[in-house]
Amino acid sequence: MTSATLKRKADKIGQLKAQVSDLNEKIDQLKQELIDAKVTEVDGKLFRVTLSTEEKAIVDWKSIAATYELPLKKFTRYTPSIRMNVVSRK
- Write down the domain spans for the chain: 3-75
Q: What is the pLDDT of residue 82?
A: 75
Q: What is the pLDDT of residue 86?
A: 72
Alpha-carbon distance of 29 to 32, in angstroms, equals 5
pLDDT tens digits, residue range 20-55? 999 999 999 999 999 999 999 999 998 999 999 888
Which helix (H) or strand (E) element contains residue 22? helix 3-36
Asked if 53 and 42 touch (Cβ cutoff 8 Å), the reply is no
Alpha-carbon distance of 90 to 87, in angstroms, equals 9
Asked if 41 and 51 touch (Cβ cutoff 8 Å), the reply is yes
Please tell me the pTM assigned to this model: 0.66
